[in-house]
Structure 1
């Protein structure tokens, strides 16, 4: 079986699919990743064959320009996610579908030459379902967070011009859906359940990470996108709280400019790239932006979470974490030392984290889903 794995240009979209791609390869199937921007290099680093479906595409410039052309900019969209989530989801679908359309022609050309039997696409990718429809092969949706449902294919196809350019009928649903959200997260199971296996790329671990420590350690991260769009100002209150606490804070910000945070206290350590799953294995709590990768990686490690959502599915993830009792959702301007102390010491939160971690570990592995994909293709 030959499987085309397609992803929007975002590591939070691509990384959750890599364990399934590995499982496909280990089972003897052929895999080709189609994406662009950072996803090309990261796919290659993961040992996967990859094609750049939109060489030279500047994703951040694309979003900046699309925001100018819209009546709602990214700042307003952030507010809209809290006041009118349905309208916000529609706007996000429109923008991501337009982004995916930038990949559609390059992805189609590669697919016509490679001849896949199946497309596996992440839930916000519009190019993969188009390619599958054009080639007449099944398309399977791979969910990656709390914000997911059964209408994404139709919603994104509505805003994808490639169907009209090629005279292809827009699909209304995928052939199947792979879902990684456990039931105790307060979500309804959609499609095939699969264990979330954290993939955060590789990297050399610093000596201090594995050394014996005498006080709690808190990981602080804003993922790979927020710092580029909004800077690190959301962490101002975290820095102030750190000054009051006998705990170590690891700011894993990927080399971002932190000058706006002022002078950092001695118990705050700046870190370059460290695979998040390895970092969280050696932390007692995590503060993050609510990205699906950060949320679910923390979930697999049983680590209490404090979320500072900025936009898109981050609000869904924050609501899910709060509802499941595995952490807190606090406005960034309101965070103080008491919130972080509770995150480290609350026994009910930690018990809930351990329960959800164990439930995720009991779900079918990616290799089990490979069998289902094989049966689907026939």
Structure 2
């Protein structure tokens, strides 16, 4: 069977799909990825066949970087508040992804018609998959990468995709869509029906540095803001976390990527180790705590590893994810100015938070993984044809 993964141009869209992609490959199926932007090289580095469907597209025109960091953070927070309140993707996001989809539509449809997949798996805002699946008459599988169930999301996307469907001569109708969620139903929010599958956290490969390959000498906490927030908000908001670690026998790993300016943080305490891009999967087995922005990928990776968490929401669905951390008792939901030594201490000590985190990790470990999802999707593809 041939399975096409149609993914938006962003690592936060690609990485959640790679566990399922490799499950299909190891089960003997042919897999290709149709994407663009930074996702092209990342998918190739993950060992998959990739088609760049929009090599000349400038996606920064859709999401231009405007204003000061403070203004960008305010806009991010306002949008996050709207998502938290409505538990739905805002129309402005659907509108912008409608533009991104139009940029990728010609290349996606051309490749899909040539490659003839039996099934198309897509990151949840990638409407070109709906276009190609409708044209080919095959099912589309929405690969979830958030804790929001939005059963009406494809139908809400369709009006924003209609001009592209019409331009390419495809009926403005939805194909059959099967949502797949990457967490148990008990952790999901919103409304909608779908199949649940255990996530396989992936953040790329890497060579372990000496300090990470050696036994740690004290409790270790990683501080990360994911792939989007550092470029929007910068690093200055983390100063309170650094100050809160003073007097604690902990090592803080500052993992903000390769191109983040740390100057706004001032002098770094001796217990802080700044590192470049480091896959979370390499860090997790060594960690006693995680401080992050509330991103769903980081939150779930820590939950599966049984690592207590401190979420400092910035935008998007971050507050929803942080509320799950609080409700499950696996960590804390705080803003940077609310972080002090007692919060960091609670992450690393043997207390109720660590006990709850370990219990949830055991619960998540027995959820069916991508290897169990593949036969169901193969059956779905057979019925779809």
What TM-score does the superposition give when structure 1 sets the normalisation length? 0.92
Q: Give the match for residue 202 of structure 1.
A: 205
The alignment status of 1:89 with 2:90, answered yes or no, reads yes
- The DSSP-based 3-state class of the residue aligned with 1:208 is helix
Deviation at 1:242, TM superposition (A): 2.3
Partners of 2:148 and 2:188 within 8 A in 1:
no
Name the counterpart of 1:25.
25
* Residue number among 221, 225, 234 corresponding to 2:224 in the alignment: 221
Q: Paired residue for 2:235, among 232, 235, 246? A: 232
Q: Deviations over 1:183-209 (max 9, x none)?
A: 443648842221111111110111211
Aligned to 2:152: 151
Aligned to 2:284: 280
In 1, Cα distance between the equivalents of 2:80 and 2:322? Answer: 12
Instruction: Tell me which moved more, 296-305 or 40-49.
Output: 296-305
**1:61 offset after TM fit, Å?**
4.1
1:73–1:148 distance in 2 versus 1, CA, 3 Å? farther
Moved more, 188-197 or 153-162: 188-197
Conserved 8 A contact 2:185-2:196: no
Deviation at 1:25, TM superposition (A): 1.0
Match of 1:180 in 2: 182
Query: 1:270 aligns to what?
Result: 274
Q: Do 2:9 and 2:38's aligned partners in 1 also have CA atoms closer than 8 Å? A: yes
CA contact (8 A) 1:42 1:201 kept: yes
Residue 377 of structure 1: CA displacement? 1.3
- The Cα offsets for residues 251-289 of structure 1, whole Å up to 9 and x where unpaired, read as 111122111111100100011122111101111000111
List aligned pairs for 1:1-378, cutoff 5 A: 1-64=1-64, 75-82=74-81, 85-86=85-86, 89-160=90-161, 161-171=163-173, 174-185=176-187, 187=189, 190-255=193-258, 256-345=260-349, 347-378=351-382
What per-residue deviation string (whole Å, max 9, x for no partner) do you get for residues 193-228 of structure 1?
Answer: 211111111101112113222321000111111112
Aligned residues: 374
What is the RMSD computed on CA atoms of the aligned residues?
2.2
| Alpha-carbon displacement from aligned partner over 1:151-198 (angstroms, at most 9, x marks no partner) | 221122222231232343444575311111124436488422211111
Q: Distance in 1 between matches of 2:294 and 2:182?
A: 16
Supply the distance in 1 between the matched residues of 2:41 and 2:231 (Cα, whole angstroms). 19
C-alpha separation between the residues in 2 aligned to 1:131 and 1:74?
Answer: 36
For 1:83 and 1:192, the matched residues in 2 are separated by: 26
Relative distance call for 1:58 and 1:237 in structure 2 (3 A) is farther
Distance 1:212 1:40 in 2: 35
User: Separation in 2 of the partners of 1:128 and 1:277?
Assistant: 29
CA–CA distance in 2 between the matches of 1:140 and 1:163? 19
CA contact (8 A) 1:16 1:196 kept: yes
Counterparts in 2 of 1:60 and 1:241: CA distance versus 1, 3 Å: farther
Q: Distance in 1 between matches of 2:218 and 2:186?
A: 31
State the 1:339 CA deviation: 1.5
- How far is the alpha carbon of 1:38 from its aligned partner? 1.1
185-194 or 311-320, which deviates more: 185-194
- Alpha-carbon contact 1:96-1:125 (below 8 Å) kept: yes
Question: Do the aligned partners of 1:286 and 1:306 also contact (CA within 8 Å) in 2?
Answer: yes
- Gap regions ≥5 residues in structure 2: none
Q: Between 53-62 and 216-225, report the one with greater CA deviation.
A: 53-62
Provide Cα deviations, 1:107-129, integer angstroms capped at 9, x if missing partner.
Answer: 11111111111110111222212
